[in-house]
Structure 1
Amino acid sequence: MVSVRHKVVVEPVPYPWLVDALGVIRTLLEESQADEQGLVLPDGQVIPDIRLTQGRHLRPGSVYLTEIDVEVEDDDEDDHGDGNAKAHANADAAADRPGTSEEADASETVQITVREWDHRRAVRLELAVVADDMNVELDAALKSPDRPSLVEISGRMRGDAAPRTLFDMAGRARVRLEDWWPAADTGRTPPSAPAAARLDHRWIRADVRAEPWPSPSRDDGRWEIHVTVSLRGRRLLRPVAAVALAVAARRIRRSVVQAVDNLAAQWNDRVPPLVAMNTDQLRETLLSRP
């Protein structure tokens, strides 16, 4: 087993702001209208990329369909131009096929199904993402949206490319919001980490835990997040995986630390401007970015 422990300091999100922000988003969606032509926002803007294909808007059983363009970058390791040549070849081939384009090949179809929509009890959505080389299924639930207490996400990814076993995996994540803020603001530690996730591959299992603490200075309001990532082999391949993990332990630790640091940097860059907005400003920002 390989275990990596790392900590980062991030800008906080006040719980009252989260409650208000979720209320703004919910109100915007509930004041909108949707049909097979698109989503009509309260100010009259139409988003044609999000279409209601089944049921009534935001009612349990309603189904929405949208497409997300994915930016495809050339492989940085193609030092001799092979990556560019391959990209041009793919673009030429796409251009020769009627009704296709390079952009079409880099898109993902997302189907969103509303399973529950009750701002007092829970909001639960199912997402099915279909891409060229893999399918992803997610089930996401937010308990008590008016006073958010728990976020649960589970899902599975299946690859279409061979060998498929390299890409097939399942995972789940759980964030106990009712425990997160007391721990982050006061240092009162709950019995277990308020944020935890598990990823299961046929050969490897990864467990992630995150625990918040007030920052060491205790006067700037920031959070110090302690992150633990554990990797271990599974089933009959456990001895083989143990050897492979031991050989790659240093590289794994370096990659995990870099990934956590990058996430913290992005959080600290994007979150403060959002938290500085009041509800009117947040609503205006959301409406200006359909």
Structure 2
Amino acid sequence: MARFQHTVTLAPVPRRWFESCVVMLHDLAESLEEDGVRLRLPDGRPLPELLLAEGSHLRPGARYRHESGDADGEPDPDAALTVLAWDRRRETVLEIVTLDSNPHNATHAVCTLRLTSAERPRDAEVSGEMRTSGGSWTKYTSGSGRLHLDLRKWWPSAAGSGRLTAPPLIGTLDHPLTHATVKVVPRLAQDGQWRVTVKVRVKGRSFARLLLPVAMAVAGRRVRAAFAEALDHAAESWNGQVPVLVRKDMELLRLELIESLFKADEEHKPEASR
């Protein structure tokens, strides 16, 4: 078994701002109108790149695909976003599936996003699974993971109030050779920032159960340094972007989000089509 722990300082995200952002994203999605396979914004502009391939907009079973990029504008068959649930009072559940049909190493990946609920966010969860086929090592290139955030515990813990009985953020990663658990706890720093401690525990499986202690004895110090460095870089990126975001109101964020979609679409178009 190997254990890692590191603490970083993060700029805080106000709870009210986060909850308003969740509502804004739901409002934006619900403001889109169906026009065949196209989705249009309230101002009439078609939403770039995303097509409604099956079902009715935001109804359970609705399936969205990217445009393939071909001249015919057909949906890309190798990626899809499906609405499993869309209920502001209960839960929002989206499933993203991507396929790589490489005959030598086909990959099937599924990612599920779940929020309970949009009106009063209580829990957020991301889970994923990847499976490969077509190769002799497919058993060792597959795995699954889950990350669960208890929003009812996060802000009280980050504010230094209330009794914390379990970490607000817990994750697991399962692989044929390893099982890892992640626990994240925020605390209030003196300057109002968040002091976030990340703990990771890794267990070896199969023949890795014997190799893991040897690897940690040889390279444990470098691995722990790399772990801390990765978290420090993530914190630096967070602190460079989050304070700017939380100072913006929801209407400005909504407009910037919409324009970013059109900007990205223009950047991806081939020169000949411009």
Q: What TM-score do you get using the length of structure 1 for normalisation?
A: 0.79
User: Partner of 1:221 in structure 2?
Assistant: 192
Query: What CA distance in whole angstroms lies between the structure 1 residues aligned with 2:233 and 2:38?
Result: 36
Structure 1: distance between partners of 2:35 and 2:218: 55
How far apart in 2 are the matches of 1:275 and 1:238? 45
Structure 2 residue aligned with 1:92:
none
2:218: which partner in 1? 247
Deviation (angstroms), 1:14:
0.5
1:282 equivalenced with 2:253 (yes/no): yes
Q: CA deviation at 1:236?
A: 5.7
**Paired residues of 2:51 and 2:67 also in contact (CA < 8 A):** no
Percent identity between matched residues is: 33
Report the CA distance shift for 1:187/1:251 in structure 2 as closer, same or farther (over 3 A).
farther
Which moved further from structure 2: 160-169 or 110-119?
160-169
Q: Is the 8 A contact 1:204 1:241 kept in 2?
A: no
Question: 2:143 matched to which residue of 1?
Answer: 169
1:270 aligned to 2:216? no
Q: Structure 1: how far apart are the matches of 2:68 and 2:201?
A: 32
Unaligned runs of 5+ in 1: 70-98, 100-106
**2: distance between equivalents of 1:36 and 1:257?**
50
Letter in 2 for 1:254: A
Task: Tell me which residue corresponds to 1:96.
Answer: none
Bigger Cα displacement from structure 2, 275-284 vs 186-195? 186-195
Aligned equivalent of 2:157: 183
User: Given that residues 67 and 108 in structure 1 are in contact (C-alpha distance below 8 angstroms), is that contact kept between their aligned partners in structure 2?
Assistant: no
Are 1:122 and 2:120 matched, yes or no? no
Cα distance 1:247–1:150, how it changes in 2: closer, same or farther (>3 A)?
Answer: same
Return the alpha-carbon distance in structure 2 between the equivalents of residues 168 and 232 of structure 1. Answer: 17
Question: What stretches of structure 2 of length at least 5 have no aligned partner?
Answer: 71-75, 262-274
Distance 1:154 1:49, change over 3 A: same
Q: TM-score, normalised by structure 2?
A: 0.84
Match of 1:205 among 170, 179, 185: 179
Describe the shift of the 1:160–1:263 C-alpha distance in structure 2 as closer, same or farther (beyond 3 A): farther
Partner amino acid, structure 2, of 1:8: V
For each residue in 1:126-173, what CA deviation from the matched residue of structure 2 results, as whole angstroms up to 9, or x when unmatched?
111224663311122100111111012222112457422332111111
How far 1:110 sits from its partner (Å)? 2.7
Aligned to 1:151: 124
Query: Could you give the per-residue CA deviations for residues 161-217 of structure 1, whole angstroms, max 9, x where no partner exists?
Result: 7422332111111100000000001254511111010101101111111100001x2
1:35 deviates by 5.2
State the superposition RMSD in angstroms. 2.3
Deviation of the 1:112 alpha carbon: 0.8
Q: CA deviation at 1:39?
A: 2.6
2:110 to 137, 140, 149: 137
Report the 3-state secondary structure (helix = DSSP H, G, I; strand = E; otherwise coil) of the residue aligned with 1:170: strand
Query: In structure 2, what residue type is equivalent to 1:155?
Result: G
Q: Structure 1 residues 264-273 or 171-180, which shifts more?
A: 264-273
Distance in 1 between residues matched to 2:126 and 2:120, nearest whole Å: 18
* CA distance 1:189–1:269, shift in 2 (3 Å): farther
Aligned-residue offset at 1:227: 0.6
Match of 1:65 in 2: 65
Task: Give the C-alpha shift of residue 274 in structure 1.
Answer: 1.2
